[in-house]
Amino acid sequence: MRHLASFLLASLVLSFATSAHAQATSRVQVTDFTVDGDPPPAEYRQILADAIRPTIGQVEQCYDRRLAVRPTLAGDYRLRLWVSARQVIRATPETSVGDTELEECARAAIRQFTLPPQAPDGGATVRFVVRFTAPPPGTIPPATPAAPAAPTIVQAPVAPTPPPVVSTPRVTVAVRSPSGGLSAEAIASAFPALVFEGCATGFTGTLPVTLTISTRGRVTARASRGTTGNAQAPSCAVRQARTVTAPSARRATTARLTLTFLR
């Protein structure tokens, strides 16, 4: 635990105390370190020198951007960190400087810090204060340009899928008196009711259709009005029957279909 504290705290000292602005005119300082309630030893500085540079720049950029908007923004921002497996697992604010954007930006930068591979894997609770000190009036540095925001992907609203429309059959087909190479089941499969749905135009009744099916599945048909009373129904049924290619068989097949129109 003590070794982990040394790594983390030495890195944080380097992050802020060796930055370009952490001299007499420092704008960002880190003070009041404790690790599990104790002051930290200062070790491992050389190892951590390269690892902390991104954290230095990011926190100062956060402050520079907000100073351009609020030139007098200053204050102490106390944080509590939980560090484990060489990473900042959690960064919890304990005080506020009154600027949510600065606080969130600084906290996000600190959360990204990763200890070097030489650091132990154990965990520790670390507390410290990030002190933001506004420069004298008229000496505010230009704001560091923010990185371009990632493009926002707007998901177009998806229309709800309508429930399936269940249509009531308007015609039924019954196979009668099959003779030849095809069974009644094979004929019924080749001539489902859907074949004749287009002929149902508002009338009711039955319509007999006589089929002749060659060995190669070619269909010929003839029909009478039956009880439909519709002069167009027989020719429509014959025309639709001829669109079907039935299964081939060793012998030709004859059968009678009884079409029942329901409406």
pLDDT given at position 157: 67
Average pLDDT over residues 19-41: 63
Confidence of residue 20 (pLDDT cuts 50, 70, 90): very low
Q: Is the model's pTM score more than 0.75?
A: no
What per-residue confidence (pLDDT) applies to 248?
87
Tell me what pLDDT residue 142 has.
54
Query: Across the chain, what does the average pLDDT equal?
Result: 78
What sign results for the dihedral spanned by CA atoms 106, 110, 112, 113? positive
d(CA 20, CA 145): 18
- Beta strands across the sheet bearing 28-35: 28-35, 124-132, 75-84, 87-93
The answer on pLDDT for 120 being more than 70 is no
- 6 Cβ contact partners less than 8 Å away, ≥ 6 residues apart: 40, 41, 42, 43, 44
Distances (CA, A) of 49 to 14, 39, 117, 127, 159: 7, 21, 14, 21, 55
User: pLDDT digits over 219-233, tens only?
Assistant: 999 998 789 888 888
Among 27-31, 77-81, 119-123, 127-131, which is the least confidently predicted range?
119-123
User: Across residues 184-207, what is the average pLDDT?
Assistant: 87
Tokens describing residue 216: 């190669």
Q: What is the pLDDT of residue 30?
A: 77
Give the DSSP H/E element, type plus range, for residue 185: helix 184-190
Mean pLDDT on 21-40 = 65
Query: What percentage of the chain exceeds 70 in pLDDT?
Result: 69
Could you give the dihedral angle defined by the CA atoms of residues 190, 195, 196 and 197, in that order, rounded to the nearest 10 degrees?
Answer: 140
What is the reported pLDDT for 209? 94
Give 49-84 pLDDT, tens digit per residue. Answer: 555 667 777 888 999 999 999 999 999 999 888 877
For 238-249, write each residue's pLDDT tens digit.
Answer: 999 998 988 888
- Residue 191, pLDDT above cutoff 80: yes
Give the helix, strand, coil percentages of the chain, each rounded to 5. Answer: 25, 25, 45
Longest Cα–Cα distance of the chain, Å, equals 109
Q: Is the pLDDT of residue 199 over 80?
A: yes
Q: Looking at 18-169, list the stretches that DSSP marks H as alpha helix, in order from N- to C-terminal side.
A: 45-48, 53-69, 100-111
For residue 143, what pLDDT band results from cuts at 50, 70 and 90?
low
User: Residues with Cβ < 8 Å from 79, sequence gap 6 or more?
Assistant: 91, 92, 93, 94, 107, 110, 127, 128, 129, 130
What secondary structure letter does DSSP report for 253? E
The whole-number pLDDT of residue 128 equals 81
Whether pLDDT at 44 is above 60: no
Identify each DSSP E strand in 85-228 by its residue range: 87-93, 124-132, 171-180, 205-213, 219-223
| Residue 51 confidence (pLDDT) | 58
Q: 256: how many CB neighbours lie within 10 A of its CB?
A: 15
